[in-house]
Amino acid sequence: MMRYADFVQTLSVRCTLKPTPEQAEALEATVQLFTEGCNHALRVAKERGEFRRFRLHRLVYKDLRAMGLSANLAVQAIARVGRKRGSRAKFYQPTSCHYDQRTFSLRLADETVSLTTVRGRMRIPLKIGNYQRHLLRQAESVQGAVLTKGPKGKWYVHIQIRVRTPEPPPGGRVVGLDLGQKALATLSTGERFSGGPLKGKRLHYLRKRAEVRSRLDRPSERTKSVKRLWERLRGREARFVNNALHVLTKRIVEALEPGDVLVLEDLTGLRERTTKRGRKERHLHNLWPYARFRFLLEYKAVLKGVRVVAVDPRRTSQECPRCGYTSRQNRRSQALFRCGACGFQHNADWVASVNIARRALAQGAGSEGLGHGQLALMPGNRLTYFRLLAS
């Protein structure tokens, strides 16, 4: 039997905090002071044109201590500004605070964390689900954490952990995944995941929400019971989607083998790069909490020894995998791809998944550091294989 060296991966796990009112007040004051410290350090860094951490430390450390920040939080504030070297950051909003191993610790026995605040060290209970518990138990070490305040005054802690995962064996397959409209997810190996009731239910909630929202917009109907209905609807939808995403990502990872490289469309990147959103992206954005889907998929994949890479998804549904001819006309309908140049014809989502995998191969996903992968295709499909070997 072959044995593989261990492989260490850093993951960030978001957990809800359950502070008492006094603790919440202390967190608030801490985030405020930390942010003031960051903004002071940023101002000085800009004035002096000095973003190097050690130089900046000499310039502002005493000020930050005088403001009331603990030594460790002062160091973290300087690190945060130092990281933003030459950045265009204007100033920081008081919504987060960075912690390292000295200012933050996790105790799994009673599921609490301990944080340095302006009122001293505090132990605060976590509210976590099974998947967070599972991940945290796997943690080899805790690197640090980011405390954030969400809308409606909820507190979260993003715990950075290192997990030891199986080293992906070399020679794995490169598998593309397309988030489609017909099937929610299609792998280049031919597996398709309808997402179960996810799509239909989500549309149902979308309509329902619009309905209640319009009632909330009319002052005469904005009653307590309508507001409660709104909250209930949001909660039910969130739980439903979360559960469906867990099931879907679990099934996708079950279709993969340790050593495979899973290639995704980088939809978050697309959102940052272009202000004009494509039709597909808009559609998915409404139906799909993409960031959440990706996180769940990524961590399940990583724990199985499957690596995940993301590629630019533009025009992946318009390119012919056999001859390379790219045209909007190639996509005859939502379901059908037919190449205008060579006549190659196939399921449109599958064609997109193949193109996604090929993009990663072109970027070297199959070689350097990722094992010598080969494009994984539907069994028996040699049409595209031929072209790939030739190119």
Buried b (16+ CB within 10 A) or exposed e, 308-333: bbbbebbebbbbbbbeeeeeeebbee
Cβ-based neighbour number of residue 390 at 10 Å: 6
Strand partners, 92: none
Strand partners, 308: 262
By C-beta, is 281 or 319 nearer to Zn ion? 319
By C-beta, is 24 or 323 nearer to Zn ion? 323
Check residue 317 and report its DSSP letter. T
Strand partners, 16: 127, 156
| Spacing of C-alpha 179 from chain mean position | 15
By C-beta, is 290 or 325 nearer to Zn ion? 325
By C-beta, is 240 or 385 nearer to Zn ion? 385
Q: At its nearest, how many Å lie between Zn ion and the CB of residue 12?
A: 42
Residues in the chain: 391
Q: At its nearest, how many Å lie between Zn ion and the CB of residue 324?
A: 7
By C-beta, is 149 or 322 nearer to Zn ion? 322
**What 3-state class would DSSP assign to 10?**
strand
Q: At its nearest, how many Å lie between Zn ion and the CB of residue 345?
A: 9
Q: At its nearest, how many Å lie between Zn ion and the CB of residue 296?
A: 35
Looking only at the bridges linking them, the beta strands covering 307-311 and 261-265 are parallel
| Exposed/middle/buried for residue 370 (C-beta within 10 Å: 0-12, 13-18, 19+) | buried
Strand partners, 144: 100, 160
Q: At its nearest, how many Å lie between Zn ion and the CB of residue 339?
A: 3
By C-beta, is 262 or 320 nearer to Zn ion? 320
By C-beta, is 284 or 354 nearer to Zn ion? 354
* H helical segments located in 258-347: 267-273, 279-287, 290-304
Amino acid at 171: G
Strand partners, 149: 155
Q: At its nearest, how many Å lie between Zn ion and the CB of residue 263?
A: 21
By C-beta, is 133 or 387 nearer to Zn ion? 387
The shares of helix, strand and coil residues in the chain, as percent rounded to the nearest 5, are 45, 25, 30
- Binding interface with Zn ion (CB under 5 A): 320, 322-323, 325, 339, 341-342, 344
Q: At its nearest, how many Å lie between Zn ion and the CB of residue 386?
A: 12
By C-beta, is 322 or 346 nearer to Zn ion? 322
Q: At its nearest, how many Å lie between Zn ion and the CB of residue 106?
A: 54
Q: Which residues, including other chains, have CB under 8 Å from residue 181's CB and lie 6 or more apart?
A: 280, 283, 334, 349
Strand partners, 26: none
Q: At its nearest, how many Å lie between Zn ion and the CB of residue 320?
A: 3
